[in-house]
C-alpha cells in the first residue's frame, strides 16, 4: 500500500541516487489514473493525487452537475452533487472520490510497478546528466572486467567501456587498476535507452587535460596550451605560451626537478613529451616545434601553410626523426606542411638554380633526385 514507507523509500533514493522524488510522485499519479481506466470507460475526467507527507493516494472523478444525467461517468444530478457540496449549481463540477477496495489493490500494485520502472528511468537520466557534463574532460575509473576487445571501467555511478583501440600502445592494464580517461562522448543508447560513455587513453586532449590538472598556472589562465600533437605511446609535442612576461611557460609545465611533466609521463605509461614555446610568428613557432633538432633557417609561407626548414647536415636525421615522427608531429603541432633539408642539400639546390637559371622548384627536384640516387 502506498503509505509512509513510500515517503521514506523515496527520501532514501533522492539522497543516495540523486533521483528527484517529485518525478516518482508524478509518475505514480499518472499510473493511478491509468489503473482506473483499465476497469472503467476511458474519459478525461479522472485525476489522482499522492500526499507528499503521508504517501496516501486519492483518485477523483470530476463530474458536471446537470438536471438530468445522460452519462453516468461524466455527469451527476443536482441533488447528489449537493450532498458533496451544498453550494453547487447546475453547470458546476464536483470531484467525487473513488471508493473501491478492488481499485485500491490494483492501485497499490500499479504504484509499485511504476516506482520500479521510474526509478530505473530516473537512474539512467541522472547518470546521463551527470556524465554528459564530463564530455571532453578527464575522469578516473577502476578497471573491473576485461576481454579481448574492451575493458569495463567503473566510474562510480556508471560504467564506461575502454576499447583496445583506445588504449596506449604497449600499455598493460590490469583488473583493479585506477586509470584516467578522456571522455570523448556521452549519448543515449538507442537499444537500452541507457547512457553510453565513450572514453579514450590515446586522445591528444588527454595530455592537455593532464597538464591542466598538474600546472596551477594553466588553471589560473596565466599559461595557455595552444596546440597538442600526439602519437600515443611514443611521443607528444605540446605548445604553450604565457600571458605574463616573467612567467616561463615551458619551465612552469616542466616543474621543479621535472615533477610536473613526470607526473603526466607516468600517467601515460612513459610516453615522451616535448614542451615547446608557441609563437605568433609562424617561422619562430616552426623553429621551436623542430626540437630537439637545431634549425639553421625557416621560410614560412602563411597563405600556402607550407614551410622550408634547413638544418645542419649532422642533424637531418634528428630533425626528421625515427620513421619521420619528429617532422610529422611538428607539422601537426604547427598546422604547416614542412619540407626539411640539410644545409648541403639547400646549397646544392641554390647552386643548381643559379647555374642553370632554373626555378627553385625545378632545382629542388634535381637535388632530391640526386639525394635519392646517392642513397640507393
- Distance CA(354)–CA(356), nearest Å, equals 6
Kindly report, residue by residue over 88-99, the tens digit of the pLDDT: 999 999 998 887
* Element at 254 (helix H, strand E): helix 249-254
Is pLDDT above 70 for 108? no
Mean pLDDT of 257-269: 95
Of the candidates 201, 132, 131, 122, which has an alpha carbon nearest to the alpha carbon of residue 165? 201
Question: Do strands 272-277 and 235-242 pair parallel, antiparallel, or not at all (unpaired)?
Answer: parallel
| 278 pLDDT more than 80 | yes
Residue 226 has pLDDT above 50, yes or no: yes
Least confident of 41-45, 170-174, 198-202: 41-45
Cell numbers linked to 116: 520500479
Per-residue confidence (pLDDT) for residue 239, from 0 to 100: 98
Inter-residue contact 296 to 310 (CB < 8 Å): yes
pTM higher than 0.85 for the full model?
Answer: no
pLDDT more than 70, % of the chain: 88
Checking if the pLDDT of 370 tops 70, the result is no
Alpha carbon distance 116, 121 (integer Å):
9
Residues 271, 168: Cα–Cα separation, whole Å: 9
Q: For residue 151, with 0-12 CB atoms within 10 Å meaning exposed, 13-18 middle and 19 or more buried, which class applies? A: buried
Phi first, then psi: give them for residue 293, nearest 5 degrees: -75, 145
pLDDT for res 53: 83
- Confidence band (pLDDT; 50, 70, 90) for 211? very high
**Residue 179: pLDDT over 70:** yes
251 or 132, higher pLDDT = 251
Strand partners, 300: 307
Here the cell at position 153 is 571501467
Q: Do the beta carbons of residue 195 and residue 124 sit within 8 Å?
A: yes
* pLDDT in the model for residue 16: 73
pLDDT top residue among 237 and 8: 237
pLDDT of 43 > 80? The answer is: no
Note the pLDDT of residue 134.
Answer: 85
Q: Residue 355: pLDDT above 80?
A: no
- The whole-angstrom distance between residue 331's C-alpha and the CA centroid of its chain comes to 27
End-to-end CA distance of the chain: 89
- Summarize the confidence of residues 64-78 as an average pLDDT: 90
Least confident of 55-59, 255-259, 290-294, 343-347: 55-59
The alpha helices in 268-315, defined as continuous H runs, are 282-289
CA 257 to chain centre: 33
What is the pLDDT at residue 238? 97
Give per-residue pLDDT as tens, 336-350: 999 999 999 999 888
CB 349 within 8 A of CB 364: yes
- What is d(CA 30, CA 47) in angstroms, rounded to the nearest whole number? 8
Between 306 and 369, the more confident residue is 306
Q: Give the C-alpha separation, 354 to 365, whole Å.
A: 14
Phi and psi torsions of 332, nearest 5°? -65, -40
- Residue 243 burial (CB count, 10 A): 12
What mean pLDDT do residues 321-343 have?
Answer: 96
Residue 65 pLDDT: 93
Can you name the residues that pair with 301 across neighbouring β-strands?
306
d(CA 165, CA 201): 9
Confidence label for 140 from pLDDT (cuts 50, 70 and 90): very high
- On average, the pLDDT of the chain sits at 86
Q: How confident is the model at residue 372 (pLDDT cuts 50, 70, 90)?
A: very low
Q: How far apart are the C-alpha atoms of 319 and 292, rounded to whole Å?
A: 7
Amino acid at each position: 500500500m502506498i503509505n509512509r514507507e513510500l515517503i521514506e523509500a523515496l527520501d532514501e533514493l533522492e539522497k543516495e541516487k540523486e533521483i528527484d522524488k517529485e518525478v516518482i510522485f508524478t509518475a505514480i499519479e499518472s499510473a493511478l489514473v491509468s489503473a482506473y481506466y483499465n476497469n472503467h470507460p476511458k474519459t478525461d475526467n479522472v485525476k489522482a493525487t499522492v500526499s507528499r507527507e503521508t504517501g496516501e493516494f486519492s483518485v477523483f472523478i470530476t463530474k458536471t452537475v446537470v438536471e438530468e444525467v445522460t452519462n453516468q461517468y461524466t455527469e451527476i444530478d443536482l441533488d447528489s452533487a449537493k450532498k458533496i457540496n451544498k453550494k453547487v449549481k447546475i453547470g458546476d463540477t464536483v470531484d467525487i472520490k473513488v471508493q473501491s477496495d478492488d481499485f485500491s489493490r490494483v492501485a497499490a500494485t500499479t504504484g509499485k510497478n511504476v516506482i520500479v520502472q521510474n526509478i530505473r528511468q530516473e537512474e539512467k537520466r541522472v547518470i546521463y546528466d551527470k556524465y554528459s557534463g564530463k564530455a571532453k574532460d578527464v575522469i578516473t575509473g577502476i578497471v573491473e572486467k576485461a576481454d579481448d576487445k574492451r575493458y569495463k571501467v567503473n566510474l562510480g555511478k556508471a560504467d564506461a567501456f575502454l576499447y583496445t583501440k583506445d588504449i596506449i600502445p604497449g600499455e598493460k592494464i590490469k583488473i583493479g587498476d585506477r586509470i584516467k580517461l578522456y571522455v570523448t562522448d556521452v549519448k543515449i543508447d538507442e537499444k537500452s535507452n541507457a547512457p553510453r560513455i565513450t572514453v579514450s587513453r590515446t586522445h591528444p586532449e588527454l595530455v592537455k587535460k593532464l597538464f591542466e590538472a598538474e600546472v596551477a598556472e594553466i588553471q589560473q589562465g596565466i599559461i595557455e596550451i595552444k596546440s597538442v600533437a600526439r602519437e600515443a605511446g611514443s611521443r607528444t609535442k605540446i605548445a604553450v605560451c604565457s600571458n605574463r612576461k616573467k612567467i616561463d611557460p615551458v619551465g612552469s609545465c616542466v616543474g621543479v626537478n621535472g615533477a610536473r611533466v613526470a607526473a603526466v609521463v607516468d600517467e601515460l605509461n612513459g610516453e615522451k613529451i616535448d614542451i615547446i614555446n608557441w609563437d605568433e610568428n609562424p617561422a619562430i613557432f616552426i623553429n621551436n616545434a623542430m626540437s630537439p633538432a637545431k634549425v639553421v633557417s625557416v621560410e614560412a609561407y602563411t597563405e600556402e601553410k607550407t614551410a622550408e626548414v634547413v638544418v645542419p647536415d649532422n642533424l637531418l636525421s634528428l630533425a626528421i626523426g625515427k620513421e619521420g615522427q619528429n617532422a610529422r608531429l611538428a607539422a601537426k603541432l604547427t598546422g604547416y606542411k614542412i619540407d626539411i633539408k640539410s644545409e648541403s642539400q639547400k646549397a646544392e639546390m641554390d647552386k643548381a638554380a643559379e647555374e642553370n637559371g632554373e626555378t627553385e622548384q625545378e632545382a629542388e627536384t634535381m637535388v632530391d633526385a640526386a639525394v635519392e640516387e646517392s642513397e640507393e
